[in-house]
Amino acid sequence: MIEGALDVLTTRYAYALMFVLMGIGIYMIIANENLVKKLIGVNLFQTAIFLFFVAVAYVEGGKAPIVPSDGSDPGLMASPLPHVIVLTAIVVGIALTAVGLALIVRIYAEYGTLREDTLREVRADE
């Protein structure tokens, strides 16, 4: 049992790192009251998903998907689609972070705090 887990950690370390990042991200989203820390947790969670897509797309011995012009067999090739999806998701993640930070700045300017519990109390009093 322990040997199997050790084998997974030494050969599939990207998956282990993905689970660690995902766990830290979820913990930051749930446990922190600060909105900036929650947004950082969302970014860590996104990074874990990106790592998962790239790790799943890895092909041992795979080459770039370029077909030779002489018509010979190209051999084993890696699919570029997961990498394209991850690049698109990175751009969307950056936009999400920018909008989230803009909202956080606006919330701080309006209420003077970034703590979720304090914001709920202030909103309840209005």
DSSP for the chain reads -HHHHHHHHHH-HHHHHHHHHHHHHHHHHHH--BHHHHHHHHHHHHHHHHHHHHHHH--TT-B-S---TT-----SB--SHHHHHHHHHHHHHHHHHHHHHHHHHHHHHHHS--BHHHHHHHHHH-
pLDDT of res. 41: 96
Overall average pLDDT of the 56-64 stretch:
79
Question: What span, in angstroms and rounded, lies between the C-alpha atoms of 78 and 72?
Answer: 17
Instruction: Please report the pLDDT score of residue 46 as a whole number.
Output: 95
Domains of the chain: 1-60+76-125 (1.10.287.3510)
Residue percentage of the chain with pLDDT more than 70: 96
Residues 57/45, Cβ–Cβ less than 8 Å? no
For residue 107, the model assigns a pLDDT of: 94
Determine the pLDDT at residue 1.
65
Model pTM score: 0.82
Per-residue pLDDT tens digits for 2-35: 777 677 667 778 888 899 999 999 999 999 999 9
Q: Is the pLDDT of residue 74 over 80?
A: no
99 Cα distance to chain centroid: 17
Task: Give the pLDDT of residue 105.
Answer: 97
Distance between CA 41 and CA 47 in Å, rounded? 10
Q: Report whether 89 contacts 49 (CB < 8 A).
A: yes
Tell me if 58 sits within 8 A of 44, measured CB to CB. no
pLDDT 10s digits, 83-106: 899 999 999 999 999 999 999 999
pLDDT at 29: 95
Q: Decide if pLDDT at 63 tops 80.
A: no
pLDDT at 61: 78
Residue 66 CB partners (closer than 8 Å, separation 6+): 74
